[in-house]
Amino acid sequence: MNKVKIITDSCSSLTQEEMKKLNVDYVQQSFSVNNQEFKGFEHPVKDANQFYEELQKCETCSTSCINTQTFADIFEKYVKQGFDVFYIGLSSGLSCTYNNALIAAEEINQDNGKHVYVADSLSGSFAIAKMVEKAVELANEGNSAEQIYNILHENGLKTYTMFIPSDLQFLTKSGRISKLVANIGTLLNLIPILAADSEGKLKIVAKCIGRKKAMKTLQNLILQNADLSSPEKIYIGHTNFEEDAKEVAEFFKQNTQNKEIVIGNIDYTMGCCCGPKTLAVFATYK
């Protein structure tokens, strides 16, 4: 059995240092702020809170997918070194990145035999991080790339993903909603709660008036949908909104036992999608 190399992308919200520690390689999603493009880890502002403060003031922002050549280069590199490759990155429901990875994998596998396995996370940010960490664990236990693919592509660890975007006006800058919708929502102090569906797309599951109501609704949704007895790690991500992240962490501590809860900054590319002062929860489905 060949050695296994695990690859992800910068939308996993893992830092470069964390991926190095896990012995995981990565490709970088790109984002653009005020028409200036950056790769995932290459923005000059390294402090996340400062970055999101500046992002709040930007005129426009957008993201772009990873092209097939980038995937082909990194897949071929490891296959030639005698590895089988397992890749998991941003949801097919959120980006064409997954499909581009599939195309590149098919080309490499046609020339070299089946060595590259591409899984769909059906999510983003720390949900990917959970799956990457599980993939590393499985590889260290001696599982093949194909076995890891079968486990993670089949169920994605049943990760329950929810987002509360704070600023509807910001979502117009990234083209997520229209200016009219943002203006009406802002006037009503409307805060939506979004969750990833079975296709990895974000859908609105609740509309709340005010942040306090949104936080309470989020907690109720967690009680209804998350498996609080699962031993899997819980991630709470945010974009310069640590106060609310700590509040949700305390809620989990009061309702779970023997559970590792991690609070972290959402990566810059995903942050450009959801905006500053976003809160996200990544747990396990019932």
Asked whether residue 49 falls in the same domain as residue 67, the answer is yes
pLDDT at 173: 52
How confident is residue 9, by pLDDT bands cut at 50, 70 and 90? very high
CA–CA gap between residue 23 and residue 6 (Å, rounded): 8
Instruction: Tell how many helices (H) and how many strands (E) occur in the chain.
Output: 11, 13
144 and 132 both lie in a single domain: yes
Q: Verify that 74 and 208 share a domain, yes or no.
A: no
Query: Domain boundary residue among 156, 172, 203?
Result: 156
Q: What is the pLDDT of residue 183?
A: 47
Residues 6+ apart with CB under 8 A from 277: 52, 56, 166, 167, 238, 239, 240, 241
Mean pLDDT of all residues in 230-256: 92
Domain endpoint, select from 92, 122, 156? 156
* Residue 168: predicted pLDDT: 65
The 10s digit of each residue's pLDDT in 113-144 is: 999 999 999 889 999 999 999 999 999 999 99
**Structural domains in the chain (count):** 2
What CATH number should be reported for the domain holding residue 27?
3.40.50.10170
Q: Are residues 258 and 136 in the same domain?
A: no
Average pLDDT in the chain: 88
Same domain for 262 and 134: no
pTM: 0.91
Per-residue pLDDT tens over the stretch 55-86: 888 888 888 899 999 999 999 999 999 999 99
DSSP letter string over 90-116? Answer: S-TTT-THHHHHHHHHHHHHHHH-S-E
* Domain shared by 148 and 49, yes or no: yes
Looking at the structure, do residues 180 and 231 belong to the same domain, yes or no?
yes
> Higher pLDDT residue, 7 or 93?
7
What range does the domain containing 89 cover? 3-156
Q: Are residues 165 and 147 in the same domain?
A: no
Whether 211 and 87 map to the same domain: the answer is no
Decide if pLDDT at 98 tops 90.
yes
Please indicate, yes or no, whether residues 90 and 219 belong to a single structural domain of this protein: no
Of 156, 176, 201, the domain-final residue: 156
